[in-house]
């Protein structure tokens, strides 16, 4: 299985959370899909000290389809990874769980560009994993 970039992993986590919210599931349902140790670093990003959803998460709950609201949460995760680089391991674990539960969220794009000229044919292939 190919490695998942940090950007893709963050997008997967926020996209999966948004999907759960769209399906009328709770934030607790989202956290329950992962091992406690895996999400312990992420809970303070989304929840206040008393365990309630922070403002950004509440806004996403109101409109889980909002790209802007999803981007805010992605930025919060990026900041947390910057402050706690060791959390990257847990982010990757979450992305792997999401990949196993929702493989359609990960699409493999293959692009082939062929340039011809003066009887020379040059083929260039680009392969990347993107979040759908």
SS3 helix, strand, coil % of the chain, rounded to 5?
60, 20, 25
132 in any annotated domain: no
117 in any annotated domain: no
112 in any annotated domain: no
**What's the pLDDT at 4?**
86
Buried/exposed code over 97-121 (b: 16+ C-beta within 10 A; e: otherwise): bbbeeeeebbeeeeeeeeeeeeeee
Q: Do 81 and 6 meet the contact criterion of CB atoms below 8 Å apart?
A: yes
Which residues span the domain enclosing 62? 6-104
Helix or strand (DSSP H, E) at 106: strand 106-117
128 in any annotated domain: no
Number of domains forming the structure of the chain: 1
pLDDT tens track for 42-83: 999 999 999 899 999 999 999 999 999 999 999 999 999 999
Q: Do 120 and 68 meet the contact criterion of CB atoms below 8 Å apart?
A: no
130 in any annotated domain: no
45 in any annotated domain: yes
68 in any annotated domain: yes
Q: What is the mean pLDDT of the chain?
A: 84
Distance separating alpha carbons of residues 111 and 128, to the nearest angstrom: 9
Helix or strand (DSSP H, E) at 29: helix 27-32
36 in any annotated domain: yes
pLDDT tens track for 78-97: 999 999 999 999 999 999 99
């Amino acid at each position: 299985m190919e490695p998942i970039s940090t950007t893709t992993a963050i997008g997967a986590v926020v996209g999966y959370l948004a999907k759960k919210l769209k399906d009328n599931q709770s934030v607790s349902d989202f956290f329950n899909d992962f091992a406690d140790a895996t999400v312990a670093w992420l809970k303070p990003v989304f929840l206040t000290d008393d365990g309630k959803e922070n403002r950004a998460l509440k806004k996403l709950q109101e409109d889980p389809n909002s790209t802007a609201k999803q981007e805010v949460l992605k930025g919060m995760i990026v900041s947390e990874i910057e402050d706690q680089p060791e959390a990257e391991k847990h982010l990757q674990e979450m992305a792997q769980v999401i990949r196993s539960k929702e493989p359609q969220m990960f699409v493999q794009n293959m692009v082939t560009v062929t340039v011809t000229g003066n009887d020379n044919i040059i083929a260039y292939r680009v392969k990347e994993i993107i979040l759908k």
